[in-house]
Structures are given as C-alpha cells and as structure tokens.
Amino acid sequence: MTTTKAGMRFAMALVLAAGISVPAVADDASIIVQSTTSTANSGLYDYMLPIFEKKTGIKVNVVAVGTGQAIKNAQNCDGDVLLVHAKSAEEKFVADGFGLKRSDVMYNDFIIVGPPSDPAKIKGDKSAGDALKKIAGAKANFASRGDNSGTHKAEIKLWKAAGVDIKDSSGQWYRETGSGMGATLNTAVGMGAYALTDRGTWISFKNKGDFEILVEGDKSLFNQYGIMLVNPEKCPNVKAKAGQSFIDWVLSADGQNTIRSFQLDGKQLFFPNAEAEPMQKAG
C-alpha cells in the first residue's frame, strides 16, 4: 500500500516536471484511511465506502491494522485520515501535532466471550473487573490480541482496573496472539479460552462454535471510535481536501445514517454519535 502510494506520487511529480497538464482532481481522486481491523472485518467499509465514492468520486483505500499500528502509520505520513478506537491515544496524536481536530464518530461495546463450560464462572457478571479477577483466580485460559490495538489497550486498562498484573502470567494461562481480532477469536475458540472482543467483530465472526457472550453491559466496556485528518503541516503529502471531504461526510447526517443502517443478521453493529454525547454502553 505504501509503495503504491509513493510510486503514484513520484510518477505525478515526473509528469508535472515534464510540463504535462493533468486534471486538478487527479491528486484528490483517492485517499488512504488508516483504520482498525474491527471496522474493516465487520464489513462496515464494504457497505459505506461505495456510497461515499458514488457521491464524491473519491476512492477510499483502507489500511486495516491495530489502532496502535494505525497511529504509527499516520505519524509516518502514510495516510490521510485516521479512524480508530483508543480515545486517549487519539487525543495525544492530535496534541502532538500529528492530527487535526478529533471527532467522535460512532460507538459499540466490548464483550467477554467464552466456552459454555465457563471454568471461571463469570456468566452474567455485571462487572467486567469482577469477571477478570475470577478468570485470573481460576487461571482459566484467556486469549489476548497482544498487539497494541484499541481492543488490546482497552483490555489492559480493564486488567489494571481489576488489580490483576497479567505480566507474570504471560505464556501460561494468559496467551498473547499478536494477531487481529478474528485470528484471536479463532485461537480462543480452538483452546477454549476467554477473550475480549468488540461486539461488531463478534456479530460478523463466523467461527463461534458453541462460544457465547458471557459478560456485557458494564459501562467500562464502552467502545468509542474517533476520526481526524492527518496534519498537512507535519505531512505535506496529505490530501487534505479529499480527506476532509470524507470526514465531513462521515460526520454528516447522511454518513451517520449510513453507519446506523449497517446491520448483520438484523443486528446493528455500530451506533453513530457524531453530534450526541456518548452513551455509557451499547444497548
């Protein structure tokens, strides 16, 4: 993705140097959005991006990685827009001058899933912290992404709030996959382990087996997504006009309604809240 973009811009520079005129829209015909596996794997982009492209003629290329990597990519100027889900990291990205104004886009929630045998007996717990304490106490297998993604950041925060130091258990009952959400869920199902996942990925995940949602609804499981333009002053190659057009559409009534209308099996995966105060949980 990076090589292709750099190559296109180098080719464009050669064309301009040769004095050949090109349409002004050429540079803004496509943008790169650094985003997360949860938004991509859910099918949200497959649903909403053709709508945006039809309205604007701007093609959106999504790089779907963990939030931590997406932020690093944007800091390295490999992208025009950042859409991720780790608010404190996003705010630091803006405060450090790498991004312009950050806006809330949508939310869903995290859930803890696991096998029906439920060795730690957490099913129905109203507190995610209590559930994690039980898992640690029982030394029940837990599959973590371990990849500095938004989900991983949220998970580490939950362990810390629960007073559980998982470092000493790494490689024992606590297993870090270093992979995306889908691969981590596959690992969890394969080894009968608990896992924290965003609800959108869980709804779209096809290999659930007999796994089920065991803990949900705690306000600490709230999962907010944000969007921002990569700062053109830091990254002169940013397609600011096209990137801002995408952001404006996502935050508009049309974009928000598009997010709201995205469903799988009759279930809504993301809840738009660009103009509203974030709720404390997703249903």
Six-digit token pair at 114? 């696991």
Contacts of 185 by beta carbon, 8 Å cutoff, 6+ apart: 113, 143, 195, 197, 201, 202, 205, 207
Return the structure tokens found at 196. 């924290």
Instruction: Show pLDDT as tens, one digit a residue, over the chain (283 residues).
Output: 433 444 444 444 433 343 333 334 345 589 999 999 889 989 999 999 999 999 999 999 999 999 999 999 999 999 999 999 999 999 999 999 999 999 999 999 999 999 999 999 999 999 999 999 999 999 999 999 999 999 999 999 999 999 999 998 999 999 999 998 999 999 999 999 999 999 999 999 999 999 999 999 999 999 999 999 999 999 999 999 999 999 999 999 999 999 999 999 999 999 999 975 444 344 3
Quick check: 128 and 197 in contact, CB under 8 A? Answer: no
Check if CATH label 3.40.50.2000 holds for domain 109-221: no
CA distance 30 to 26: 8
CA distance 121 to 5: 50
pTM, to two decimals: 0.83
Specify whether the CB–CB gap between 221 and 198 falls below 8 A.
no
CB 67 within 8 A of CB 17: no
Domain 2-107+224-272: give its CATH architecture.
3-Layer(aba) Sandwich (3.40)
Integer Cα distance of 209 and 103 in angstroms:
37
Asked if domains 2-107+224-272 and 109-221 share a fold, the reply is yes
* Ranges assigned E (strand) in 155-244: 174-176, 194-198, 212-215, 222-229
Domain positions in the chain are: 2-107+224-272, 109-221
3-state secondary structure of 278: coil
Amino acid 135 reads I
